[in-house]
Structure 1
């Protein structure tokens, strides 16, 4: 289900995606070429969410001065969607990050800073005692093992109202609760395989938008200058790429820098980065910046 949603989001020219996957990037790393940032540790997750709140605050202040109540996403001023795979893991291992997530859930919609949260353990503790869950205006519920989980995910009284997610009888079947979807109607998601992910990433990785200048400036204090680690070596582009990534600074190297260091073209560099990311040998630390 998450891959289906991501497959649609990466095709949007007015959406920037950040990701948090505290299972070492196991679920989101295949999407890394389409993610402007990917956090795989508790510290990275906390910094990423803090930056998202900074973007939110900057946009809110700009909107107030411009007398506009809603940020309308465009390719030049895209929405920011933070994808969190297994939110329960974030709550357990990065409790300092939770208030940032709750702030985004409360205040982010008007300025197009949104959360996409997935979890297999929707307990009261994992969801912050309901503080985050209560702000979720769109909820998708796949099959649950226990009847009581229906009310926990969708809201109190939904089980009695006919939302019987515990009876869903096949992979990919779900209910969606949102404006305009107030009656229990079963649906089923497409099966989105690893091959589909690879093909989608290959198609859209080079077309992803950047954040607008205002939003980039809001996170600028966290950005460090990036310097190439060595002089270019064209004899073995594969080895040159591996060395550059392994010696890259914390904020990574840009694709133009990797092109310079390997002597290869943009298509070759993107293809190799995608292959290395899939193998867990490279990661995109921020939009367009890579390291091992």
Structure 2
């Protein structure tokens, strides 16, 4: 027989039961902690007041009070005698007795007040008061039980209730004073041990009122992969929002460092909140270096799982130095490696895009950016027409016409470039509204994520996915993410919160892949940058060939005339021809040409630039357009 197995089988149920009891007591202890704290505080106060000096004052007050009562009783008796001796209420005897009685009663009240003050200064012990209080219901309860009992059936409920009340009082005090069994990982740091000691309900309840947190009680803190989590019971007027607003008081009470990530969220039931201290993450010790085999944008610091983003429109935001460029590399590199995708980099700052020129279309000057945007709009409209012809709702990417990933970096600088002469934003707003089903995805990157300053209102409303790193303040966080998010509290660069992919507000931050080395981009395979390919124009109808002559010996014979070739339909004029015709008819600005031709301003700007470079159109310093021949005639 295996004695060890038998012993294990016998002891396991006992250990399990003990563990259940311990966990139950740990859960109930925070509820009794305030009672025990108030009891012990009051008991200590009474003990400190019970000094020999206060005892002497109490005894003197008792003697004075007894003497005053005796004097008052004597004066009352003398007044009764004087009233019996004389029927005249104004007689000298009755008047003197009345005055003496009044003075004796006043002295008695003063002695009584002095005695009460002395008793407050030398109170009875709290244990004595508890015995007295329980005696009030115990003695009548026992008597009632005895009177209501019979030899056949004992009705002892009054005594049982009294005994239950006494046991409840004693049990609550024992439970409130009980030290919780906090299991601390052997690998816990010194900081984590100190924080868990201060999260102990006994310490918290004792010091919370000094920090303005009275009415809150902590539960059992737990140390996990994401750090320390601890439930907090909210009494009185406290709620989760109010507790979150008292974050600075919590930090002061715990003595935690300023950079420590602290989050407060609602608990599993009403009246409870959950405090999370990010002392550790699930990615500690893990390599975050980006490689082509990596998926997504990084790892969840709470679970260690890879966080991926869906295709489509996105906003990437964060203050200067938060890691936007590194994040963008992790987002764009998979598209640069995918033959069914193409990257278009609209770099208003003109810095980062230099690394991508071998595998992406780049534009840094306002005119170039406007031209690229116009191409994108034309491509998007062309795909729309083809989708209608093919009766499909979503564009199917091919190597010839791939998914287009359009990155705007930096949004605030690009908005400053937009003007009437060089329109940029109208086309981007159209792409944001209509590009999803046509596989033209707009990525807007900015370090100033405030509507109207770093991102247009027409664009932010269409951005479903938002990846936001550390922001400059709460205002920026609320404008880009909404109320309750705490991006401004992220401890440093390389950490981000993601909204729009099913990750809620209580998520752990995402540790972004480390793609800070420029070789991550420059080592990507070279590709031909995307350019829109216009369909070849149709040919005009050709004239009929001359009739052939057939030769027979020396005689010539005309061949029968060939059948007339039907005229081909005349091709539609190109945008360039329409723009040239509009300028020739008197249009002098890009806006005038757009109004006359019905072509969007981006395409008009592109055509004007081509005509100016070819010498067919002249543009003066004020931007007024004219045909080159017209300009020569005017100058002549």
Question: TM-score, normalized by length of structure 2?
Answer: 0.31
C-alpha distance in structure 2 between counterparts of 1:72 and 1:113, whole Å: 12
CA displacement at 1:219 relative to structure 2: 11
> Would you say the 8 A contact 1:105–1:132 is kept in 2?
yes
One of 526, 529, 533 as aligned partner of 1:205:
526
> Would you say the 8 A contact 1:51–1:218 is kept in 2?
no
C-alpha distance in structure 2 between counterparts of 1:44 and 1:128, whole Å: 20
Computing the radius of gyration from Cα coordinates, the structure with the larger value is 2
Q: How does 1:182-193 map to 2 (within 5 A)?
A: 182-185=504-507, 186-193=509-516
Q: Could you give the per-residue CA deviations for residues 98-146 of structure 1, whole angstroms, max 9, x where no partner exists?
A: 0111000000000001111111112222355511101111111110121
CA displacement at 1:14 relative to structure 2: 1.0
C-alpha distance in structure 1 between counterparts of 2:519 and 2:496, whole Å: 21
C-alpha distance in structure 1 between counterparts of 2:411 and 2:536, whole Å: 23
One of 363, 367, 375 as aligned partner of 1:51:
375
Alignment match, 1:165: 487
One of 406, 421, 438 as aligned partner of 1:82:
406
Note closer, same or farther for the CA distance 1:219–1:14 as it changes in structure 2 (3 Å cut).
farther
Alignment match, 1:26: 351
> Would you say the 8 A contact 1:51–1:219 is kept in 2?
no
C-alpha distance in structure 2 between counterparts of 1:90 and 1:175, whole Å: 25
Q: Does 1:67 align with 2:401?
A: no
* C-alpha RMSD over aligned residues: 2.6
One of 133, 137, 143 as aligned partner of 2:464:
137
Alignment match, 2:440: 113
C-alpha distance in structure 1 between counterparts of 2:506 and 2:536, whole Å: 42
Unaligned runs of 5+ in 2: 1-326, 538-573, 577-608, 611-636
Q: How does 1:242-257 map to 2 (within 5 A)?
A: none
> Would you say the 8 A contact 1:14–1:75 is kept in 2?
yes
> Would you say the 8 A contact 1:80–1:114 is kept in 2?
yes
Alignment match, 2:333: 7
Secondary structure in structure 2 of the residue aligned to 1:204: coil
CA displacement at 1:194 relative to structure 2: 3.1
Q: Could you give the per-residue CA deviations for residues 130-180 of structure 1, whole angstroms, max 9, x where no partner exists?
A: 1110111111111012111112112xxx332xx210111121100111232
Corresponding pairs, count? 212
Secondary structure in structure 1 of the residue aligned to 2:362: strand
> Would you say the 8 A contact 1:15–1:80 is kept in 2?
yes
Alignment match, 2:308: none
C-alpha distance in structure 1 between counterparts of 2:535 and 2:463, whole Å: 25
Note closer, same or farther for the CA distance 1:119–1:129 as it changes in structure 2 (3 Å cut).
closer
Higher relative contact order (CA 8 A, sep 6+): 1
> Would you say the 8 A contact 2:433–2:462 is kept in 1?
yes
Unaligned runs of 5+ in 1: 224-249, 252-292
Alignment match, 1:262: none
Question: TM-score, normalized by length of structure 1?
Answer: 0.66
CA displacement at 1:184 relative to structure 2: 4.0
Alignment match, 2:502: 180
Q: Could you give the per-residue CA deviations for residues 238-277 of structure 1, whole angstroms, max 9, x where no partner exists?
A: xxxxxxxxxxxx99xxxxxxxxxxxxxxxxxxxxxxxxxx
One of 216, 219, 222 as aligned partner of 2:533:
216
C-alpha distance in structure 2 between counterparts of 1:209 and 1:50, whole Å: 16
CA displacement at 1:218 relative to structure 2: 6.9
Secondary structure in structure 2 of the residue aligned to 1:132: helix
C-alpha distance in structure 1 between counterparts of 2:377 and 2:441, whole Å: 10
Alignment match, 1:230: none
> Would you say the 8 A contact 1:144–1:166 is kept in 2?
yes
Note closer, same or farther for the CA distance 1:129–1:209 as it changes in structure 2 (3 Å cut).
closer
> Would you say the 8 A contact 1:87–1:118 is kept in 2?
yes
Greater displacement, 97-106 / 115-124: 115-124
CA displacement at 1:12 relative to structure 2: 1.5
Q: Could you give the per-residue CA deviations for residues 207-255 of structure 1, whole angstroms, max 9, x where no partner exists?
A: x6856xxx522799799xxxxxxxxxxxxxxxxxxxxxxxxxx99xxxx
> Would you say the 8 A contact 1:138–1:178 is kept in 2?
yes
> Would you say the 8 A contact 1:175–1:184 is kept in 2?
no
> Would you say the 8 A contact 2:471–2:488 is kept in 1?
yes
